Amino acid sequence: MSVATAVEIAGLKLKNPVMTASGTVGFGEEYAPYLDLSKLGALVIKTVTLRPRAGNPPPRIAETPAGVLNAVGLQNPGVEVLVRDVLPRLARFEVPVIVSIAGETVDEYARLAARLEGVPGIAALEVNISCPNVKAGGIAFGTHPDMAAEVVAAVKRHTGFPVIVKLSPNVTDIRTIALAAAGAGAGALSLINTLSGMVIDVERRRPLLGNVSGGLSGPAIRPVAVRAVWQVYQAVNLPLIGMGGIMTARDALEFIMAGARAVAVGTANLVNPGAAGEVAAGLARYLEEQGIADINELVGVAHRAEGGTAD
Protein backbone atom coordinates (compact mmCIF):
# COMPACT_ATOMS: atom_id res chain seq x y z
CA MET A 1 0.00 0.00 0.00
CA SER A 2 1.22 3.49 -0.70
CA VAL A 3 1.20 5.79 2.27
CA ALA A 4 1.19 9.59 2.42
CA THR A 5 3.92 11.02 4.62
CA ALA A 6 3.75 14.65 3.48
CA VAL A 7 2.87 17.30 6.04
CA GLU A 8 2.35 21.04 5.89
CA ILE A 9 3.96 23.39 8.41
CA ALA A 10 3.11 27.11 8.24
CA GLY A 11 2.39 26.84 4.52
CA LEU A 12 5.59 24.86 3.93
CA LYS A 13 5.01 21.50 2.28
CA LEU A 14 7.40 18.77 3.48
CA LYS A 15 7.72 15.32 1.90
CA ASN A 16 7.80 13.79 5.37
CA PRO A 17 7.67 15.08 8.94
CA VAL A 18 11.32 14.47 9.87
CA MET A 19 13.79 17.34 10.29
CA THR A 20 17.15 17.78 11.93
CA ALA A 21 17.22 19.74 15.17
CA SER A 22 19.22 22.96 14.95
CA GLY A 23 22.80 22.74 16.18
CA THR A 24 23.15 18.99 15.91
CA VAL A 25 24.28 18.63 12.28
CA GLY A 26 26.09 21.93 11.73
CA PHE A 27 25.07 23.23 8.30
CA GLY A 28 24.31 19.71 7.13
CA GLU A 29 27.31 19.24 4.86
CA GLU A 30 29.30 17.20 7.36
CA TYR A 31 26.43 14.72 7.46
CA ALA A 32 25.98 14.27 3.70
CA PRO A 33 28.34 11.26 3.53
CA TYR A 34 26.16 9.38 6.04
CA LEU A 35 22.68 10.77 5.52
CA ASP A 36 20.74 11.33 2.29
CA LEU A 37 19.54 14.84 3.11
CA SER A 38 17.02 14.74 0.25
CA LYS A 39 15.14 12.04 2.17
CA LEU A 40 14.39 14.46 5.02
CA GLY A 41 11.38 16.73 5.37
CA ALA A 42 13.68 19.66 6.11
CA LEU A 43 17.20 20.51 7.20
CA VAL A 44 17.26 22.91 10.16
CA ILE A 45 20.75 24.36 10.26
CA LYS A 46 22.82 25.67 13.14
CA THR A 47 21.68 28.98 14.58
CA VAL A 48 23.21 32.06 12.97
CA THR A 49 23.68 35.44 14.56
CA LEU A 50 24.25 38.89 13.06
CA ARG A 51 27.98 38.80 13.75
CA PRO A 52 30.32 35.78 14.01
CA ARG A 53 30.40 34.16 17.44
CA ALA A 54 33.42 32.28 18.83
CA GLY A 55 31.34 30.21 21.22
CA ASN A 56 32.08 29.07 24.76
CA PRO A 57 35.40 27.78 26.15
CA PRO A 58 35.75 23.97 26.28
CA PRO A 59 34.75 21.55 27.61
CA ARG A 60 31.48 22.09 25.76
CA ILE A 61 29.93 18.65 26.18
CA ALA A 62 29.40 16.14 28.95
CA GLU A 63 27.68 12.80 28.87
CA THR A 64 24.84 12.38 31.38
CA PRO A 65 22.53 9.43 32.11
CA ALA A 66 20.90 8.64 28.73
CA GLY A 67 21.68 12.17 27.63
CA VAL A 68 24.10 14.91 26.80
CA LEU A 69 24.77 18.29 28.35
CA ASN A 70 26.16 20.88 25.95
CA ALA A 71 27.22 24.50 26.07
CA VAL A 72 28.52 25.38 22.62
CA GLY A 73 27.33 28.97 22.91
CA LEU A 74 26.02 29.49 19.36
CA GLN A 75 29.44 29.37 17.67
CA ASN A 76 28.76 30.38 14.06
CA PRO A 77 30.38 32.39 11.26
CA GLY A 78 27.62 35.02 11.17
CA VAL A 79 24.79 35.71 8.76
CA GLU A 80 26.94 37.22 6.02
CA VAL A 81 29.02 34.04 5.64
CA LEU A 82 25.82 32.01 5.74
CA VAL A 83 24.30 33.95 2.87
CA ARG A 84 27.47 34.26 0.81
CA ASP A 85 29.08 30.82 1.28
CA VAL A 86 26.87 28.30 3.04
CA LEU A 87 23.39 28.60 1.53
CA PRO A 88 24.63 28.37 -2.10
CA ARG A 89 26.46 25.14 -1.19
CA LEU A 90 23.35 23.60 0.37
CA ALA A 91 21.26 23.91 -2.84
CA ARG A 92 22.70 20.65 -4.22
CA PHE A 93 21.19 18.62 -1.36
CA GLU A 94 17.63 19.24 -2.60
CA VAL A 95 16.12 19.60 0.85
CA PRO A 96 14.14 22.54 2.26
CA VAL A 97 16.53 24.55 4.45
CA ILE A 98 15.21 26.17 7.61
CA VAL A 99 17.51 28.86 8.98
CA SER A 100 17.64 29.23 12.76
CA ILE A 101 18.31 32.78 13.99
CA ALA A 102 19.17 34.28 17.38
CA GLY A 103 19.90 37.79 18.56
CA GLU A 104 20.98 39.55 21.72
CA THR A 105 18.29 42.20 21.23
CA VAL A 106 14.91 42.44 19.52
CA ASP A 107 16.54 44.68 16.95
CA GLU A 108 19.11 42.00 16.11
CA TYR A 109 16.35 39.46 15.42
CA ALA A 110 14.67 42.03 13.16
CA ARG A 111 17.90 42.80 11.31
CA LEU A 112 18.60 39.08 10.81
CA ALA A 113 15.13 38.57 9.34
CA ALA A 114 15.61 41.60 7.07
CA ARG A 115 19.04 40.38 5.91
CA LEU A 116 17.64 36.95 5.06
CA GLU A 117 14.48 38.22 3.38
CA GLY A 118 14.22 36.92 -0.17
CA VAL A 119 17.56 35.08 -0.03
CA PRO A 120 17.37 32.02 -2.31
CA GLY A 121 17.63 28.62 -0.70
CA ILE A 122 15.65 29.40 2.45
CA ALA A 123 12.36 27.61 3.13
CA ALA A 124 11.55 29.10 6.55
CA LEU A 125 13.04 30.80 9.59
CA GLU A 126 13.20 29.23 13.03
CA VAL A 127 13.42 31.90 15.72
CA ASN A 128 15.61 30.58 18.53
CA ILE A 129 14.41 32.27 21.71
CA SER A 130 15.48 29.37 23.88
CA CYS A 131 19.25 28.83 23.82
CA PRO A 132 20.32 28.43 27.46
CA ASN A 133 24.05 28.84 26.76
CA VAL A 134 24.52 32.50 25.84
CA LYS A 135 24.80 35.45 28.21
CA ALA A 136 22.59 37.92 26.38
CA GLY A 137 19.37 37.29 24.50
CA GLY A 138 18.58 33.67 23.73
CA ILE A 139 16.54 32.17 26.51
CA ALA A 140 15.71 35.55 28.04
CA PHE A 141 13.24 36.06 25.19
CA GLY A 142 11.84 32.57 25.55
CA THR A 143 10.92 32.80 29.21
CA HIS A 144 8.82 36.01 29.16
CA PRO A 145 5.58 35.99 27.11
CA ASP A 146 5.77 39.72 26.32
CA MET A 147 9.38 39.53 25.17
CA ALA A 148 8.67 36.42 23.11
CA ALA A 149 5.81 38.21 21.40
CA GLU A 150 7.97 41.26 20.75
CA VAL A 151 10.69 39.19 19.05
CA VAL A 152 8.22 37.24 16.93
CA ALA A 153 6.39 40.39 15.85
CA ALA A 154 9.68 42.07 14.92
CA VAL A 155 10.74 39.08 12.81
CA LYS A 156 7.31 38.91 11.17
CA ARG A 157 7.55 42.57 10.13
CA HIS A 158 10.76 41.85 8.22
CA THR A 159 10.17 38.51 6.56
CA GLY A 160 7.89 36.82 4.09
CA PHE A 161 9.19 33.37 5.04
CA PRO A 162 7.17 31.09 7.31
CA VAL A 163 8.18 31.81 10.93
CA ILE A 164 8.70 28.92 13.34
CA VAL A 165 9.36 29.79 16.99
CA LYS A 166 11.46 27.44 19.11
CA LEU A 167 10.30 27.24 22.71
CA SER A 168 12.21 26.63 25.91
CA PRO A 169 11.10 24.07 28.50
CA ASN A 170 12.74 26.18 31.23
CA VAL A 171 9.51 27.97 32.10
CA THR A 172 6.68 27.61 34.59
CA ASP A 173 4.05 27.04 31.90
CA ILE A 174 5.17 26.59 28.30
CA ARG A 175 1.61 27.29 27.09
CA THR A 176 1.86 30.97 28.02
CA ILE A 177 4.92 31.41 25.79
CA ALA A 178 3.28 29.37 23.02
CA LEU A 179 0.17 31.56 23.15
CA ALA A 180 2.26 34.73 23.09
CA ALA A 181 4.23 33.52 20.05
CA ALA A 182 1.02 32.48 18.29
CA GLY A 183 -0.57 35.84 19.03
CA ALA A 184 2.41 37.64 17.53
CA GLY A 185 2.13 35.78 14.26
CA ALA A 186 4.17 32.57 14.57
CA GLY A 187 3.27 30.07 11.87
CA ALA A 188 4.48 27.03 13.79
CA LEU A 189 6.19 26.14 17.07
CA SER A 190 9.25 23.96 17.69
CA LEU A 191 9.48 22.33 21.08
CA ILE A 192 11.48 21.72 23.10
CA ASN A 193 14.94 23.25 23.26
CA THR A 194 17.33 21.85 25.88
CA LEU A 195 16.69 21.81 29.62
CA SER A 196 19.11 23.84 31.73
CA GLY A 197 21.47 21.56 33.61
CA MET A 198 24.87 21.22 35.20
CA VAL A 199 27.55 18.63 35.96
CA ILE A 200 30.27 18.93 38.61
CA ASP A 201 33.65 17.35 37.93
CA VAL A 202 34.18 15.68 41.29
CA GLU A 203 37.90 14.97 40.72
CA ARG A 204 38.58 18.65 40.05
CA ARG A 205 35.87 19.96 42.41
CA ARG A 206 34.53 22.42 39.85
CA PRO A 207 31.87 22.69 37.14
CA LEU A 208 32.71 20.36 34.27
CA LEU A 209 31.60 22.60 31.40
CA GLY A 210 33.60 25.69 30.48
CA ASN A 211 30.33 27.63 30.53
CA VAL A 212 29.48 26.21 34.00
CA SER A 213 25.93 25.22 32.98
CA GLY A 214 24.56 23.76 29.77
CA GLY A 215 21.53 22.38 28.00
CA LEU A 216 20.38 18.80 28.51
CA SER A 217 19.20 16.73 25.56
CA GLY A 218 18.80 13.12 24.51
CA PRO A 219 16.50 10.27 25.57
CA ALA A 220 16.59 11.48 29.19
CA ILE A 221 14.39 14.48 28.33
CA ARG A 222 11.95 12.74 25.98
CA PRO A 223 9.05 12.43 28.47
CA VAL A 224 9.41 16.12 29.33
CA ALA A 225 9.25 17.02 25.66
CA VAL A 226 6.30 14.75 24.88
CA ARG A 227 4.31 16.33 27.70
CA ALA A 228 5.17 19.82 26.46
CA VAL A 229 3.85 18.93 23.00
CA TRP A 230 0.74 17.40 24.58
CA GLN A 231 0.05 20.57 26.58
CA VAL A 232 0.73 23.05 23.78
CA TYR A 233 -1.38 21.03 21.32
CA GLN A 234 -4.36 21.53 23.60
CA ALA A 235 -3.70 25.24 24.10
CA VAL A 236 -2.64 26.55 20.69
CA ASN A 237 -3.98 25.98 17.20
CA LEU A 238 -0.66 25.95 15.35
CA PRO A 239 1.33 23.14 13.75
CA LEU A 240 3.91 21.80 16.22
CA ILE A 241 7.37 20.39 15.55
CA GLY A 242 8.20 17.99 18.38
CA MET A 243 11.71 17.17 19.51
CA GLY A 244 13.61 15.92 22.53
CA GLY A 245 15.48 12.62 22.60
CA ILE A 246 14.08 11.08 19.42
CA MET A 247 16.32 8.12 18.55
CA THR A 248 13.89 5.94 16.56
CA ALA A 249 10.67 6.10 14.55
CA ARG A 250 8.82 4.79 17.59
CA ASP A 251 10.06 7.78 19.62
CA ALA A 252 8.90 10.10 16.82
CA LEU A 253 5.46 8.48 16.90
CA GLU A 254 5.09 9.45 20.55
CA PHE A 255 5.47 13.10 19.59
CA ILE A 256 3.15 12.81 16.60
CA MET A 257 0.45 11.09 18.67
CA ALA A 258 0.86 13.80 21.33
CA GLY A 259 0.14 16.43 18.69
CA ALA A 260 3.29 17.13 16.68
CA ARG A 261 2.77 17.52 12.92
CA ALA A 262 6.51 17.21 12.37
CA VAL A 263 9.48 16.04 14.45
CA ALA A 264 13.16 16.84 14.69
CA VAL A 265 16.00 14.43 15.38
CA GLY A 266 18.78 16.04 17.41
CA THR A 267 21.13 14.34 19.83
CA ALA A 268 20.68 11.02 17.99
CA ASN A 269 22.70 12.54 15.12
CA LEU A 270 25.72 12.69 17.43
CA VAL A 271 25.53 8.94 17.97
CA ASN A 272 24.28 7.72 14.61
CA PRO A 273 24.79 10.13 11.70
CA GLY A 274 22.14 8.28 9.70
CA ALA A 275 19.52 8.54 12.47
CA ALA A 276 17.21 11.14 10.86
CA GLY A 277 16.95 9.14 7.64
CA GLU A 278 16.23 5.98 9.60
CA VAL A 279 13.45 7.72 11.54
CA ALA A 280 11.84 8.92 8.28
CA ALA A 281 12.00 5.44 6.75
CA GLY A 282 10.70 3.90 9.97
CA LEU A 283 7.64 6.19 10.02
CA ALA A 284 6.70 5.16 6.46
CA ARG A 285 7.13 1.51 7.42
CA TYR A 286 4.88 1.97 10.45
CA LEU A 287 2.11 3.47 8.31
CA GLU A 288 2.33 0.52 5.93
CA GLU A 289 2.32 -2.06 8.69
CA GLN A 290 -0.61 -0.41 10.44
CA GLY A 291 -2.58 0.23 7.25
CA ILE A 292 -2.71 3.97 7.85
CA ALA A 293 -3.05 5.91 4.58
CA ASP A 294 -1.85 9.32 5.76
CA ILE A 295 0.45 10.26 8.61
CA ASN A 296 -1.71 13.31 9.36
CA GLU A 297 -4.31 10.87 10.73
CA LEU A 298 -1.95 10.18 13.62
CA VAL A 299 -1.32 13.80 14.63
CA GLY A 300 -2.71 14.25 18.13
CA VAL A 301 -4.45 10.88 18.01
CA ALA A 302 -3.60 10.21 21.66
CA HIS A 303 -5.83 13.11 22.70
CA ARG A 304 -8.79 11.33 21.15
CA ALA A 305 -8.07 8.01 22.82
CA GLU A 306 -10.57 6.70 25.31
CA GLY A 307 -9.71 8.04 28.74
CA GLY A 308 -7.15 10.41 27.23
CA THR A 309 -8.45 13.51 28.95
CA ALA A 310 -6.65 16.74 29.67
CA ASP A 311 -3.36 16.78 31.54
Partner 1 sequence: MSHVLNCKIISHRRVGADCRRLVLAAPQVAQAARPGQFLHVRCGGTADPLLRRPLSIHDVDQEQGLVTLLYRVVGRGTALLAARRSGERVNVLGPLGRGFAPPPAHRRVALIGGGLGIAPLLFLARELVKEEREVWVFHGARTAVELGCADFSVLPVQLLVATDDGSAGHAGSVVGLFRESAAKMRPDWVAAAGPHGMLRVLTSEMRRLDLPGEVSLEERMGCGIGGCVCCSCRIGAPGNWQYRRVCADGPVFAAAEVVWE
| Active-site hit among 62, 131, 180, 249 | 131
**Which range in 52-60, 89-97, 149-157, 300-308 contacts partner 1 by CB under 8 A?**
52-60
In contact, 145 and 179? CB cutoff 8 Å: yes
Asked if residue 33 binds partner 1 (CB under 8 A), the reply is: yes
One of 12, 16, 44, 46 touching partner 1 (CB under 8 A): 46
- For this structure, is 131 an active site residue? yes
91 binds partner 1 (CB under 8 A): no
Q: Which member of 10, 42, 43, 62 binds partner 1 (CB under 8 A)?
A: 62
What element of type H or E holds 227? helix 222-235
- 272 touches partner 1 by CB under 8 A: yes
Q: Count other Cβ atoms within 10 Å, centred on residue 179.
A: 18
Query: Site residues for partner 1, window 226-255 (CB under 8 A)?
Result: 247
* Site for partner 1 contains 213 (CB under 8 A): no
Radius of gyration in angstroms for the set of CA atoms belonging to the chain, rounded to a whole number: 18
- By CB under 8 A, tell whether 70 contacts partner 1: yes
Parallel, antiparallel, or unpaired: how do β-strands 61-64 and 67-70 relate? antiparallel
204 binds partner 1 (CB under 8 A): no
CA dihedral 196, 245, 176, 12 (to 10 degrees): 130
| 207 scored as a contact of partner 1 (CB under 8 A) | no
Angle, helix 145-158 to helix 106-116, in steps of 10 degrees: 30
Q: Is 31 in the site for partner 1 (CB under 8 A)?
A: yes
Residue 194 within binding range of partner 1, rule CB under 8 A: no
Give the contacts of 306 (CB within 8 A, at least 6 positions apart). none
| Residues whose CB is less than 8 angstroms from the CB of residue 82 and which lie 6 or more positions away in sequence, other chains included | 27, 48, 76, 99
Cβ 66 to partner 1 shortest distance, Å? 4
The span from the CA of 195 to the CA of 168, in Å, is: 8
Residue 101 CA to residue 105 CA, distance in Å, equals: 12
HSE-up of 283 (CA within 13 Å, CB side)? 37
**At its nearest, how many Å lie between partner 1 and the CB of residue 213?**
15
Binding-site member from 68, 127, 131, 295 for partner 1 (CB under 8 A): 68
* Window 153-192: contact mask with partner 1 (x via CB under 8 A): ----------------------------------------
Query: Does 146 help bind partner 1 (rule: CB under 8 A)?
Result: no
**Cα(156)–Cα(160) distance, integer angstroms:** 7
- Of the pair 152, 276, the CB lying nearest partner 1 is at 276
Distance CA 169, CA 130 (A): 8
In the list 34, 235, 284, 296, the residue contacting partner 1 (rule: CB under 8 A) is 34
Which residues carry out catalysis? 131
Contacting positions for partner 1 (CB under 8 A)? 23-26, 30-31, 33-34, 46, 54-55, 57-63, 65-68, 70, 72, 75, 218-219, 247, 267, 269-274
